[in-house]
Amino acid sequence: EPEVTQTPSHQVTQMGQEVILRCVPISNHLYFYWYRQILGQKVEFLVSFYNNEISEKSEIFDDQFSVERPDGSNFTLKIRSTKLEDSAMYFCASRTGALTDTQYFGPGTRLTVL
Amino acid sequence: GESVGLHLPTLSVQEGDNSIINCAYSNSASDYFIWYKQESGKGPQFIIDIRSNMDKRQGQRVTVLLNKTVKHLSLQIAATQPGDSAVYFCAERRSSASKIIFGSGTRLSIRP
């Protein structure tokens, strides 16, 4: 069964450093998402991406964040200058083009900012 | 504002019994609801969904009930097994939007 994959599973970085989190969505999916989950809290929407552009973003997704689909398979989230409060699990999700379709989530990348 | 919330943060159930996890939502514009299961260290896993034009939907061992009058959603798990131990999130989406809004989660633990 196809699934969303994410790398790395755990990323440790120093405050102020740039990080890139990578995702490979399910191959026939057209909509891509990033969510984050701070330890012990609920999952929060960050950004949605369709047709090579951001379709929606939350207030969390400020100028320090960017997303890119550099090729036909990868979808990345970049944080330019990490802060301590960026420490969280970051989940990638994807779905087909049908509005009725469910989003399928990857296993997540745990980001630890020191 | 919009919010999706859960009545109970933890639920302990005897193995073999049925589990019922409840959720309240406040956005009457929501027309699509989903239940996700999250095991420790993993991403949310889709369990079942329901559209606002339905009040009940059944899957394998799971049933979702939707009461739009009181903006209430529930997940019923039949014959709860140890593998059902996880945090369960209800979530909502409006058909005009793409993002999913998650509730705060209920931890389900199973007693042997």
Tell me the pLDDT tens digit for each residue of A7-46. 999 999 999 999 999 999 999 899 999 999 998 888 999 9
Report the chain A residue with the minimal C-alpha distance to residue B105.
Answer: A42
- Set of chain B residues whose Cβ sits within 8 Å of the Cβ of A88: none
pLDDT at B1: 40
Backbone φ and ψ for B10, nearest 5 degrees, come out as -135, 150
Integer Cα distance of A45 and A55 in angstroms? 13
Per residue in B15-70, pLDDT (tens digit) is 999 999 999 987 888 889 999 999 988 899 999 999 999 999 999 999 999 999 99
Integer Cα distance of A18 and B37 in angstroms? 31
Backbone φ and ψ for A74, nearest 5 degrees, come out as -95, 150
* Banded pLDDT at A61 (limits 50, 70, 90): very high
The C-alpha of A80 sits at a distance from chain B's nearest C-alpha, in angstroms, of: 24
Integer Cα distance of B100 and B91 in angstroms? 6
**Hey, are the CB atoms on B101 and A50 less than 8 Å from each other?**
no
**Hey, are the CB atoms on B46 and A58 less than 8 Å from each other?**
no
pLDDT at A80: 96
Q: Which of B34, B99, B104 sits opposite A102 (nearest CB)?
A: B34
Q: What is the mean pLDDT of residues B77-86?
A: 96
- Taking phi first (over 0 means left), then psi (-120 to 50 degrees means alpha), and beta for anything else, what does residue B95 get? alpha
Is the bond preceding A8 in cis, omega lying within 30 degrees of 0?
yes
Q: Which of A41, A56, A106 sits opposite B98 (nearest CB)?
A: A56
| Residues contacting residue A97 through CB under 8 Å, at least 6 positions apart | A30, A31
| Residues contacting residue A23 through CB under 8 Å, at least 6 positions apart | A4, A5, A6, A32, A34, A74, A75, A76, A77, A92, A106
Least confident of A89-93, B13-17, B90-94, B107-111: B90-94
Integer Cα distance of B22 and B6 in angstroms? 6
Integer Cα distance of A60 and A69 in angstroms? 20
* Banded pLDDT at A85 (limits 50, 70, 90): very high
Interface list for B 66-105 with A (CB within 8 A): 89, 91, 95, 97-105
Q: Which of A41, A45, A107 sits opposite B43 (nearest CB)?
A: A107
Question: Which of the residues B99, B106, B107 would you substitute to probe the A interface, choosing the one with the greatest number of A C-beta atoms within 10 Å?
Answer: B99
Q: What percent of chain A has pLDDT over 70?
A: 98
Whether residue B104 has pLDDT greater than 50: yes
A4 three-class SS: coil
pLDDT at A94: 94
pLDDT at B96: 65
pLDDT at B41: 82
For A18, the token pair is: 């740039």
Q: What is the mean pLDDT of residues B76-81?
A: 96
In chain B, the N- to C-terminal Cα span, in Å, equals 41
* Banded pLDDT at B4 (limits 50, 70, 90): low
As a whole number, the mean pLDDT across chain B is: 88
